[in-house]
Amino acid sequence: MAKKADEIRNLYNQTVSHYDERYRSIQFSKFSEISARWNEKDTVLDVGCGTGLLIEYLEIVPTIYVGVDLSFNMLQVVKEKKPWPCCVAGDVRKLPIRKNAFSRIMSFSVLQNIPDPRETIAEILRVSEKPSSLVITALRKTISIMSLVNWVREEAERHGIRMEIEEFNLALEDVGIKCDIKKE
């Protein structure tokens, strides 16, 4: 059975002390898939940002970077790493962000925690600029690449959003897609 938000928050609050040591290298290998797609004018939303490993990885500082996560303990680690990220304690099933706000949206290894991942996918599409780029990954043991692609296609169609989807092979544990959302 899918875990409730409180359980997820408690789980990640407890994981925080060893998260970076344990997951840095595997998460960095996933991030390497997207490094060529950055520039400093990007406005970046990190959906389920955790301890901000993506921020550590970035060589370019984007104009705006906002990380959203349920776990306050994880967000505190982000603030210890760099002064510039804006951290928001919030639920990715109802992002506390206005529509069409971001040009790059990243969500690494988060959707497997969400009982109905389509809710978060719909939210990601809502806050995406037209045009914009998305990268979404999820643990393969919970979510198949076919489900991920179908959910994104269905939500895009439902909201009249035109996009191209490219699947990519992440190291070992995640399935992932890159999406280019077209101009309206």
Residue from 137, 114, 152 nearest 53 by CA: 137
d(C-alpha 53, C-alpha 165), whole Å:
25
Number of residues that bind ligand SAM (CB under 6 A): 22
- As a three-state string, the secondary structure of 123-164 is HHHHHEEEEEEEEEEEECCCCCHHHHHHHHHHHHHHCCCCEE
Residues 46/66, Cβ–Cβ less than 8 Å: yes
Q: Say whether residue 135 binds ligand SAM (CB under 6 A).
A: no
Q: Which two tokens stand for residue 139?
A: 């643990």
Near ligand SAM in 1-30, by CB under 6 A: 5, 8, 12, 23, 27
Binding mask 73-112 for ligand SAM (x = CB under 6 A): -x----------------xxx--------------xxx--
Name the residues that contact ligand SAM, by CB under 6 A: 5, 8, 12, 23, 27, 48-50, 53-54, 69-71, 74, 91-93, 108-110, 113-114
